[in-house]
Amino acid sequence: MENVNLVMPDEQDDFYEHHRIQVDRGQSLIRIDKFLFGKLGNVSRNKIQMAAKSGNILVNNKQEKSNYKVKPGDVISVLLPGPVKEFEIIAENIPINIVYEDDDIIVINKDAGMVVHPGHGNYTGTLINALAFYFQDNPDVLPALIHRIDKDTSGILLVGKNELAQTILAKQFFEHSVNRKYFALVWGDMKMDAGTIEGSIGRNQTDRLQMTVYPDNSQGKPAITHYKVIERFGYVTLVECTLETGRTHQIRAHFKYIGHPLFNDEKYGGDKILKGTTFTKYKQFIINCFNILPRQALHAFLLEFKHPTTGKRMLFEAPLPNDFNKLIGKWREYARHKDTMNEYD
């Protein structure tokens, strides 16, 4: 019997399905698109053919077209875009900030507080609901996310508008050829001006909504985050993060792991005063900062990828949102007048 493995989208922040199939010894010669159509359940024949056209079907590590004849013992790898679980999408008139749009893609600067995809109790009010409304008069457009960012993270997000674009873009994310950069404000004064954080990331065994770093790679999936210091404020540091991999909560989990949780990140312990003094004025300053940015201090400011049709390299940037900018301004002012701030009342 064939061995079929599937990587579920809820284990990562990128929306694709990766199937691996080992063909059994008794398999007769058959076109691979027909074979996969029978093996992959609800996946359409067209979606399989799009995958082949995009180079997303490998047989024994070699790209094959849809007319390839499957042979006993073949090892087939298939990459498909889109979430495994489908939800009934309700079109909702929710404002979205569109940075760029053409026939194949739409680039959005997502506000903090918006969930990107229905699921786990969030069936309305998501970016997908907003896109369903935006495209309600154009039924030929079937928008699908290629990757995700957390509800309370702001910044650039890429959406494919048709199956071919989604399939090609999914491959770029799978192969880590997409350039993604974030700004994060983290607790503590980083020792190094630049560095790399490595450690597999998987679900926390006691809290399934939280991710944990497994440095021995015993669980989870490999994850690599590169960072460099942008500005130091004494008790917190503004860093630029570049993702080499795209795991759920990767930056948040990695920085907690090295002892520098993101500022006001409730899930990973950054919503407490972790660095600083015991002075009353300082405590009030931190409370004011939490009120200014009532979420984790994380913003996806840059996304670079190859256009699925033209092949042209495209780069999009989103400036820091007002709440993040105001927070940085408060810390910059604090760093200038730290001695005065730390005097007893």
- Does residue 319 share a domain with residue 270? yes
Which of 150, 152, 265, 323 is an active site residue? 150
Is residue 261 included in any domain, yes or no?
yes
Residue range(s) defining the domain that contains residue 143: 98-339
Sign of CA dihedral 38, 42, 45, 47: negative
Is residue 345 included in any domain, yes or no?
no
In the prediction, which pLDDT does 209 show?
A: 83
Task: Give the CATH number, domain containing residue 210.
Answer: 3.30.2350.10
Task: Give the CATH number, domain containing residue 46.
Answer: 3.10.290.10
Quote the number of domains for the chain.
2
Is residue 85 included in any domain, yes or no?
no
pLDDT reading at 81 higher than 60: yes
Is residue 252 included in any domain, yes or no?
yes
Is residue 105 included in any domain, yes or no?
yes
Asked about 150 being catalytic, the answer comes back as: yes
- Does residue 172 share a domain with residue 254? yes
In the prediction, which pLDDT does 24 show?
A: 87
**Residue 71, CA distances (Å) to 18, 68, 188, 259, 295 in order:** 20, 9, 57, 51, 53
Q: What is the pLDDT of residues 200-239, one digit of tens each?
A: 999 988 887 899 999 888 888 899 999 999 999 999 999 9
- Does residue 209 share a domain with residue 136? yes
Of the given ranges (114-123, 139-148, 157-166), which has the lowest mean pLDDT?
114-123
- Does residue 165 share a domain with residue 71? no
- State the average pLDDT over residues 54-82: 88
Q: What is the pLDDT of residues 18-50, one digit of tens each?
A: 788 999 888 888 999 999 988 887 788 888 888
pTM here? 0.84
- Does residue 330 share a domain with residue 256? yes
Q: What is the pLDDT of residues 168-183, one digit of tens each?
A: 998 899 888 999 999 9
- Does residue 153 share a domain with residue 123? yes
**Residue 145, CA distances (Å) to 130, 142, 220, 289 in order:** 12, 10, 23, 32
Last residue of a domain, one of 80, 110, 126: 80
Cβ contacts of residue 191 below 8 Å, gap of 6+?
none
- Does residue 168 share a domain with residue 43? no
- Does residue 292 share a domain with residue 322? yes
